[in-house]
Structures are given as C-alpha cells and as structure tokens.
Amino acid sequence: MGNHVLVIEDEPNIVEAIRFILMRDGWDVSTLSDGDRAEDTIRSCRPDVVILDVMLPGRSGLEILAALRADAATRSLPVLMLTAKGQGRDRAEAERIGASRFMSKPFSNTEILASVRALAGV
C-alpha cells in the first residue's frame, strides 16, 4: 500500500492544516481546490486515499463521489468525505453514494489521521 493522499478542499487554511498533520505522519499529500478537475487528477496521480469536501466550487463533492463509484477503476478507492453543514441528511446521502468514511467539520487532528490510516489499511 502507498501513502499518497489527495485532499480536495477549497478552504486554504483547512488544506494547510490537513497537509501539515498528514505530512508530519509521513504521508504524501497532494491538494486540489476545485471540483471540476477532481476526476482527472485522481486518474492521473492515483492517490491511495482521497479526502473530499462536499461543498466545492464547480462540481460538488457528492457528484465527484458518484462519478468515482461509477468507474470500475475507482470504485473501491477509499474516500473520506468532509462536510461543514453538519446535517444528518448529507451523511446519509454520502453513505448511500458510497463514501468510505464521513466526518463533520470541525474534526480533531487525531481523528482524521486515524481515519486516513484505517482507509489506507496501515
């Protein structure tokens, strides 16, 4: 198993926090701030875990997830969904579409780290 994490998130400070936490733990971190290029980026850089925000400029996180699950190559890719809306409806929707994990913002650093580790099978 590799250690490449792709963070798709539009809020620069949050991206910086996640990157700091993961890189300190020894992960390779790539970042992306809009939804339109998400699928292409995933196909080209083949991350081991994707951290995907629900609310993104361009395509929403849920649309991207649905597209990933429809593609055989990415069907089993671990995806950790993040949302700031904190409503049960988003969680249910994300799980229905096939999110591997779902976390509400704000999250604790140990929690996100543990989730990434678990998803990567480490």
Partner 1 sequence: MVPFNILVAVCLVYVGLLFLVAFLVERRAHARALPWLRSPQIYTLSLSIFCTAWTFYGAVGYAVRSGWEFMTIYLGPTLVFVGWWWVLRKLVRIGKTQRVTSIADLISSRYGKSNMLGVIVTVISVVAATPYIALQLQSVTLSFAVFASSAADGGPVPDKAATALWVAVGLALFTVLFGTRNLDSNERHLGVVTAIAVEAVVKLVALVAVGVFVVWGLAGGPADMMAKINASALSSWDLQPGRWAGLIFLSAAAVLCLPRMFQVMVVENVDERHLATASWAFPLYLFLMCLFVLPIAVAGLDLLPPGTNPDLFVLTLPLAQGQDGLAMLAFLGGFSSATSMVIVASIALATMVSNHIVMPLWLSLRPAQAVSGDVRRIVLLSRRLAIGGIVALGYAYFHLSGGSAALAAIGLISFVGAAQILPAMLGGIFWRGATRMGAVCGLLTGAGIWVYSLYLPSFGPDGVISARLIAGGPWGIGWLRPQALFGVEGMDPLIHAMFWSLVLNATAFFTGSILTFPGPVERVQGAAFVNVFDGEVPAGGWVRGAATAEDLLILSQRILGGDGALAFFEAEARMQGKAGPLPDPTPGFVGALERRLSGSVGAATAHAMIAQTVGGAAVSVEDLMAVANETAQIMEYSAKLEAQSEELTRTARQLQQVNEKLTRLSVQKDSFLSQISHELRTPMTSIRAFSEILMEGDMPPAMARRHATIIHDEAIRLTRLLDDLLNLSVLENAGVQLTLGLVSLQDMIDRALVAAAQTRPERSFTVHRDPASEALYVTTDADRLTQVFINLISNARKYCAAPEPELRIAVRQRGGRVMVDVIDNGRGIPEDSQALIFEKFARLTDETRAGGAGLGLAICREVMTALGGSIAYLPGQGGTAFRVTFPLRLQEVA
Examine residue 113 and tell whether it contacts partner 1 (CB under 8 A): no
CB-wise, 14 or 62, nearer to partner 1? 14
Distance CA(21)–CA(93), nearest Å, equals 28
**Rounded CA Rg of the chain:** 13
Buried b (16+ CB within 10 A) or exposed e, 9-35: beeeebbebbbebbeeeebebebbbeb
Compute the Cα dihedral for 48, 21, 122, 92 and give only its sign: negative
Examine residue 16 and tell whether it contacts partner 1 (CB under 8 A): yes
Examine residue 32 and tell whether it contacts partner 1 (CB under 8 A): no
Candidate list 56, 62, 80, 116; residue touching partner 1; CB under 8 A: 56
Candidate list 3, 11, 30, 37; residue touching partner 1; CB under 8 A: 11
Binding site for partner 1 (CB under 8 A): 10-14, 16-18, 20-21, 34, 55-57, 84-87, 104-109
